[in-house]
Amino acid sequence: MPRLLLFIPLALFSILILFLWKGLSIDPRELPSALIDKPFPAFKVEALLSPERKLTTADIVGKPVLINVWATWCPSCRQEHEQLLRIAQENKIAIIGLNYKDDRTAATKWLTQLGNPYQFNIYDESGMLGLDLGVYGAPETYLLDAQGIIRHRHVGVVTEQTWQELQAIIKSWEKL
Amino acid sequence: MIPELGEYALILALGFSVILAIVPLYGAASLKTIWMEYAKPLAKAQFFFMAISFACLAYAFGQDDFSVQYVANHSNSQLPMQFKLSAVWGGHEGSLLLWALILSGWTLAVSLFSRGLPLDMLARVLGVMGIIATGFISFLLWTSSPFLRYLPRYPRDGADLNPLLQDFGLIVHPPLLYMGYVGFSVAFAFAIAALLSGRLDAAWARWSRPWTNVAWAFLGGGITLGSWWAYYELGWGGWWFWDPVENASLMPWLVGTALMHSLAVTEKRGVFKSWTLLLAIFAFSLSLLGTFLVRSGVLTSVHAFASDPERGFFILVLLVLTIGGSLTLYAFKAPNVKSESSFGWFSREMLLLINNVFLMVMAVTVLLGTLYPLLIDALGSGKISVGPPYFNALFVPIMGLLVVSLGFSTVARWRNTSLESVKQQLMLPGIISLASGLIFPFLYGDGFNVRVFIGISLSMWIITTVFREFKGKFRSTTSITEKLKQLSPSYYGMMLAHIGVAVTAIGITLVSVYSEERDMRMAPGDTMELADYQFKFLGTKSVKGANFVADQGTIEISLDGESVVTLYPQKRRYNVKKSMMTEASIDPGLFRDLYLALGEPLADGAWAVRVHYKPYVRWLWLGGLLMALGGIVTVFDRRYRKNDTQKQGVANA
């Protein structure tokens, strides 16, 4: 019997390999979300800064917007924050925050301290909206057109380069 | 021309590693001395061609050869020379080339410092390392060659190195880290050689120990440096983020720590043999797994360079072959190694075993936290991410337990210890530790604090027990200097490393509890106060660097009216990538750092300014360096240099 015990590490490793192999076929960066070219999932969630205000899908349609998934526990969000502030300053598109599985006090403090690039923030405390949206982790950014259809998904930090790409997509709509 | 030479050299290196993987191992299995003798020259030839290959890539960077894709993607003509050269490992292909170069460097080192090693053991160790090299060089050549060209039309200038990586930290951090990762391949190769030959005695442990200690020291040094780099370069004063890439380096370090201690027991007492082998396999497996996680892009991370399923698949196959193969070998061969003695339930052996278990639990905690998002995803139950709260809630308490038992194992004796003697030795250290933990928050802060109490008590517990045991060494001697000389470098190394743990623990505790930070809108002339220091903002001016322009703030800091220092934090804009970087300015000190970063420009020349007061933050890295230094010191032990094993040789195998 003890001889069989020696196979335990091998067995555990085999299970791990199965998962890793599965993981390879799921590419977290590309993530052509199942929702691409589909409407943003319907929701009714509190706003971050004014809890009494209930936000719904109606608040995000009408013009193209960027939905930025962020949280105070996410260091990469901090990294992209300055870029978001710059995008907000350029005033070409509205950024709406999706505060994901976060603490309201901490998130509010974050916005006061670092500046607030968001028009408003959806306070997704339970992460249910994030789940509907297929959020892999923060930060993620979605580009929605005026009809509220998800047109592009970016996983990871928004950089100047990302912003150029996003602008190119928006420009291509204007040509149509 | 030069890049092609680099590619050819890499192909030749592959050729030599294939031969190295076959010939000496066959020789050892069939007792053919001449075949085994080939191991050393093959190791040298392999290193020679790897070095040429690496030098060719560095040359292409130095010459701004943008016809080479990898150079064009990671360098720029404006980049200062030292960063052009460090950009060699600033991306996926180059860092893998560095990985392979370091692997062949370790192989060379084993072949050079192996006089005491029996020929068959040497042949097996080098052969196993040849197998690993074969895998990695093939990976480079087939999926990630850094020498590919853009032809005929190549870019006029390069896309530049990520500004985050244009820093002294990046010049040193990856090589150190890789020295550690890859260094565990030596311990791994020794373990496989032991399984193959069925020979695992005190001599075997003595050969493995210095290699393990050095690799562990490099890895610890690399982690420390990485944490320091993140602190000053990322611009928000954090020093550990539980990022997958950080975790990937922490796991082999934890297992390596367990391995070092287990090897010590195996050498001194001839027990834990099969556990030691398993740890040696795990330590290197986790290094490989770390490489897989970082390189394949299965996890998203701040650090991830490339995400490429083809590469990921290749590494996965490598993982299956090396780890799967070695664990299979282990399962079949481990019963052949038998313990040579027994030990009591309360003894140093038992306590070290407990410590080992704690270290493994910590490693598994980190592993699960890192892979959990992936597991959930693979199971199809949605996508989630695990934040620092998970790690802090599990990791920190286990670390506390580990430290408590560390104190006990320091003073316990081999084989059997009487409870009475342990109690007698630890009474005073225990009281001192608890008292210091109790008093410190009153002296330093403004009242009792549980976290400080626990942190300081635990740190003092390590320090006092280490010195209690040290003092015990002098019980029966009259000449103190004589005894000091008699104690081995191994012993001093161990003391240093344990004190390093305490120093790091003090740093972590105090910086987590007593840090202060503030974000303020400051117009030129404004003054703010933080932790008794006054900060006066004198405005910003534009400055120009080699490849960036920056707004540079001037901030005068004074303490009670006396000027302390003037700091110049910058907000940089890099010309090529058009990316913004916050360059923090820090006034470092042993007991506190003052950390300044510019936030956003506001109206009328005012800026958002971020000020941090970080007490004892340096201790965290100082402790890391002490641990690494301790690891290095042990290698100077004379018993690793003795040739007394020469007489056992091939005939014995």
Per domain, the residue ranges of chain A are 33-175
**pLDDT score, position B649:** 37
Cα–Cα distance for residue pair B70/B91, rounded to 1 Å: 8
Assess B238–A contact: CB distance below 8 Å, yes or no: yes
Choose among B243, B309, B335: nearest Cβ to A27: B309
Lowest-pLDDT range, B113-117, B305-309, B400-404, B425-429? B305-309
Name B585's bridge partners.
B596
**pLDDT score, position B90:** 84
- Label residue A170 by pLDDT band (50, 70, 90): confident
Q: What is the mean pLDDT of residues B279-293?
A: 89
H/E segment holding residue B234: none
Q: How many CB atoms lie within 10 A of CB A90?
A: 9
pLDDT at B653 exceeding the cut of 60: no
- Label residue B650 by pLDDT band (50, 70, 90): very low
- Label residue B643 by pLDDT band (50, 70, 90): low
B508 neighbors B458 (Cβ within 8 angstroms): no
**pLDDT score, position B301:** 41
Which residues are CB-neighbours of B362 under 8 A, at least 6 positions away? B254, B395, B398, B399, B402
pLDDT at B373 exceeding the cut of 80: no
Amino acid at residue number A61: V
Please report the sign of the dihedral spanned by the C-alpha atoms of residue B378, residue B381, residue B383, residue B387: negative
B507 neighbors B620 (Cβ within 8 angstroms): yes
- The per-residue pLDDT of chain B, averaged, comes to 87
Q: Which of B61, B220, B48, B191 is nearest to B129 (CA)?
A: B191
Assess A13–B contact: CB distance below 8 Å, yes or no: yes
Phi, psi torsion values for A80, nearest 5 degrees:
-85, -5
Q: How many CB atoms lie within 10 A of CB B153?
A: 6
Look at A7 and B389 and tell me if their CB atoms are within 8 Å.
no
Q: What is the mean pLDDT of residues B388-406?
A: 88
Which residues are CB-neighbours of A43 under 8 A, at least 6 positions away? A55, A56, A57, A122, A129, A132
H/E segment holding residue B600: strand B592-601
CA diameter of chain B:
84
pLDDT at B422 exceeding the cut of 90: no
CATH superfamily of A33-175: Glutaredoxin (3.40.30.10)
Q: What is the mean pLDDT of residues B253-280?
A: 93
Cα B587 to Cα B226, B229, B463, distances in angstroms: 19, 15, 29
Q: What is the mean pLDDT of residues B483-491?
A: 87
Q: Give the start-to-end residue ranges of the domains of chain B.
A: 1-166, 517-618
Strands B527-530, B533-544: pairing kind:
antiparallel
Q: Respond yes or no on whether ipTM tops 0.90.
A: no
**pLDDT score, position B428:** 93
pLDDT at A5 exceeding the cut of 90: no
Tokens of A16: 């791990």
Q: What SS3 state is found at B339? A: coil
**pLDDT score, position A61:** 85
Q: What is the mean pLDDT of residues A24-49?
A: 72
Tokens of A105: 């006090």
- Label residue B298 by pLDDT band (50, 70, 90): low
**pLDDT score, position A128:** 80
Amino acid at residue number A114: L
**pLDDT score, position B169:** 80
Assess A113–B contact: CB distance below 8 Å, yes or no: yes
Q: How far is A6 from chain B (nearest CA, A)?
A: 5
**pLDDT score, position A172:** 83
pLDDT at B378 exceeding the cut of 70: no
Look at A114 and B296 and tell me if their CB atoms are within 8 Å.
no
Cα–Cα distance for residue pair B555/B568, rounded to 1 Å: 6
H/E segment holding residue B494: helix B489-514
Strands B533-544, B548-559: pairing kind:
antiparallel
Tokens of A119: 């028009």
Q: What is the mean pLDDT of residues B547-568?
A: 89
Q: What is the mean pLDDT of residues B177-206?
A: 92
**pLDDT score, position A26:** 58
Cα B486 to Cα A160, B167, B477, B637, B638, distances in angstroms: 62, 44, 11, 11, 11
Choose among A7, A28, A78: nearest Cβ to B300: A28
Listed by number, the residues of chain B in 474-533 with a beta carbon closer than 8 Å to a beta carbon of chain A are: 519
**pLDDT score, position B343:** 82
Please report the sign of the dihedral spanned by the C-alpha atoms of residue B355, residue B358, residue B364, residue B365: negative
Cα–Cα distance for residue pair B634/B638, rounded to 1 Å: 9
Cα–Cα distance for residue pair B190/B204, rounded to 1 Å: 8
**pLDDT score, position B642:** 60
Choose among B298, B327, B383: nearest Cβ to A134: B383
Tens of pLDDT along B492-507? Answer: 999 999 999 999 999 9
Strands B533-544, B580-583: pairing kind:
unpaired
Angle value at C-alpha B37, between B36 and B42, nearest 5 degrees: 95
**pLDDT score, position B602:** 77
Q: What is the mean pLDDT of residues B105-131?
A: 93
Name which of B273, B307, B323, B385 to mutate to probe chain A: the one with the most chain A Cβ atoms within 10 A of its Cβ: B385
Q: Which of B40, B63, B231 is nearest to B121 (CA)?
A: B40
The answer to pTM > 0.90 is no
Q: What is the mean pLDDT of residues B226-239?
A: 82
Q: How many CB atoms lie within 10 A of CB A32?
A: 10
pLDDT at B33 exceeding the cut of 80: yes
Look at A75 and B297 and tell me if their CB atoms are within 8 Å.
no
- Label residue A32 by pLDDT band (50, 70, 90): low
Q: How many CB atoms lie within 10 A of CB B579?
A: 19
Q: Which of B460, B365, B456 is nearest to B406 (CA)?
A: B460
Q: What SS3 state is found at A91? A: coil
**pLDDT score, position B652:** 35
Look at A115 and B600 and tell me if their CB atoms are within 8 Å.
yes
Of these ranges, B43-52, B138-147, B322-331, the one predicted with the greatest mean pLDDT is B43-52
- Label residue B651 by pLDDT band (50, 70, 90): very low
- Label residue B386 by pLDDT band (50, 70, 90): low
Q: What is the mean pLDDT of residues B236-263?
A: 89
B150 neighbors B79 (Cβ within 8 angstroms): no
Name B581's bridge partners.
B572
pLDDT at B30 exceeding the cut of 90: yes
- Label residue B384 by pLDDT band (50, 70, 90): low
Q: Residue for token digits 């012993």?
A: B491
